[in-house]
Amino acid sequence: MYSKAELDAWDKEYFWHPFTQMKVYEAEDNLLIERGEGSYLIDIAGNRYLDGVSSIWLTVHGYNHAHISNAVKAQLDKIAHSTTLGQGSVPAAVLAKKLVEVAPPGLSKVFFSDDGATSVEVALKIAYQYWCQKDADNRDKYKFISLQEGYHGDTIGSVSVGGVESFHSLFKPYMFPGYKAPVPYCYRCPLGEDRETCGLRCAREVEGILALYHHEIAALIMEPGMICAGGMIDVPAGYLSYVRQLCDKYDILLILDEVAVGFGRTGTMFACEQEGVAPDILCLSKGITGGYMPLAATLVREKIYQAFWGEESKKFTHGHSYTGNQLACAAAIANLEVFEQEDVLAALQPKIDLLRQGLEEFKALEHVGDVRQRGFLVGIELVKDKSTREPFPPEFQLGHKVILAARRHGVILRPILDVIEIVPHLSVSETELQKILTAAKRAIEEITQGQGSI
């Protein structure tokens, strides 16, 4: 219908891409995706690319999965959307029930929104309003404690609890006040500690803040398992359960942001299961629809819901036009059905092991400083000097060069600065997984060889 030349030109001329320096984008060959099949993305020229990042941690069972596609088509024949303000819908009711069934214990109510960031905005507002309505004395509990290098989205509330300097620093004048705890980033510990001997000092620092300021803190928010956009930083074992205990001890809510790590990405349905922890509020999005449609959910414990129950003035005054969109809910129901029908989590375990074995080879590469894996979430941190952990100069744009090289080998990857992320679909085959690893390794070798003296 339209020529490749036209589409390439329009993409550059009219479309302002997210998180993209358009000057660089406009100077490079663009990649316009037209179709998806299983683990592959297919561009307008018919080239096939193996997707090694699941469209930024969204796609779960592959592109164009028959069960999910058919569920969306069937829903489309009935209705695409109707409001959920003061009325319900069939797929939203079914999905809310199913989410409560699979969620960590104690979470009993589901509030829908549209994106990861909105699920976090909802969580923050619920947490504050909860304290206000629970007891008039708690109105001072309006701050949040969050982690340095944490990332919770790009709306102002979620930015306020974020800690990635390069994403967030410009917006400081708009960010609400709160407390930041040191990131548990063992490869570059901000406290100068060693993982083997530190006794989780970073978690003890959290206690230091809570002991002083708990009376003004509504909740602690963090990503369990893996701090993703902050650089694929794997949270050390024991940290989450320690933080859960602290939240109970100091009477603050625990909000877990499983927007990126939820829906099997870490090897279990939710990352917090791995430490037997259940939050007070859980944020979900991305994989919730298998990567099909924008949808988010914020789940809360019954005690929180009860604080909003009663007089009109107590209701949660928040909503989005597309809250509980029927097409998205239909996709999300089908996504959960595929987990069951295909026993996805069981099938995933040998692939996680294969990935772990394959990553061993990266550790020997001259410029690979650290390899971090939590299930199907991987970060390979490239450094100029392995012994000192000195990074490459940012202007070298190493990560960007590596992913362009990987694309030439037919695999889509993404960088977070010089951390190369690998996040395959849970449905990836062993052969495809091997292909992703081979392309990533070749790309890293090609770009870093002889670059130690930059």
Ligand X SMILES: Cc1ncc(COP(=O)(O)O)c(C=O)c1O
Which residues contact ligand X (rule: CB under 6 A)? 115-117, 120, 151-153, 223, 228-229, 257, 259-260, 285
Minimum distance from CB of 152 to ligand X (Å)? 5
Minimum distance from CB of 120 to ligand X (Å)? 6
Question: Among residues 125 and 314, whose Cβ is nearest to ligand X?
Answer: 125
Minimum distance from CB of 261 to ligand X (Å)? 7
Nearest Cα to 152, choosing from 141, 166, 174, 168? 168
The strand ranges marked E within 134-287 are: 143-147, 179-181, 217-222, 226-227, 233-234, 253-257, 281-284
Report the relative pairing of strands 377-382 and 368-374 from DSSP bridges.
antiparallel
Which residue is it, tokens 């430490």? 275
Length of the chain: 454
Question: Among residues 115 and 370, whose Cβ is nearest to ligand X?
Answer: 115
Question: Among residues 40 and 57, whose Cβ is nearest to ligand X?
Answer: 57
Residue 57, token pair as written in the block? 């941690």
Say if residues 320 and 125 touch (Cβ distance below 8 Å).
no
Question: Among residues 53 and 107, whose Cβ is nearest to ligand X?
Answer: 53
Question: Among residues 202 and 229, whose Cβ is nearest to ligand X?
Answer: 229
Question: Among residues 141 and 265, whose Cβ is nearest to ligand X?
Answer: 265
Say if residues 428 and 436 touch (Cβ distance below 8 Å).
yes
Say if residues 119 and 284 touch (Cβ distance below 8 Å).
yes
Which residues have a Cβ under 8 Å from the Cβ of 417 and sit 6 or more positions away? 166, 231, 391, 394, 399
Minimum distance from CB of 185 to ligand X (Å)? 15
Question: Among residues 148 and 448, whose Cβ is nearest to ligand X?
Answer: 148
Beta bridge partners of 226: 234
Minimum distance from CB of 113 to ligand X (Å)? 10
Nearest Cα to 373, choosing from 342, 351, 395, 405? 351
Residue closest to ligand X (Cβ): 116
Helix (H) or strand (E) holding 328: helix 326-341
Minimum distance from CB of 76 to ligand X (Å)? 23
End-to-end CA distance of the chain: 47
Beta bridge partners of 182: none
Minimum distance from CB of 157 to ligand X (Å)? 11
Q: Is 232 left (phi over 0), alpha (psi -120 to 50) or beta?
A: left
Which residues have a Cβ under 8 Å from the Cβ of 101 and sit 6 or more positions away? none
Helix (H) or strand (E) holding 300: strand 296-301
Rounded CA gap, 152 and 194, in Å? 27
Minimum distance from CB of 156 to ligand X (Å)? 13
Question: Among residues 117 and 327, whose Cβ is nearest to ligand X?
Answer: 117
Residue 437, token pair as written in the block? 């690893």
Minimum distance from CB of 119 to ligand X (Å)? 7
Rounded CA gap, 317 and 447, in Å? 52
Question: Among residues 182 and 294, whose Cβ is nearest to ligand X?
Answer: 294
Minimum distance from CB of 358 to ligand X (Å)? 24
Minimum distance from CB of 263 to ligand X (Å)? 12
Rounded CA gap, 41 and 59, in Å? 11
Question: Among residues 152 and 214, whose Cβ is nearest to ligand X?
Answer: 152
Rounded CA gap, 435 and 151, in Å? 30
Question: Among residues 53 and 110, whose Cβ is nearest to ligand X?
Answer: 53
Rounded CA gap, 400 and 436, in Å? 17
Nearest Cα to 105, choosing from 377, 299, 380? 299
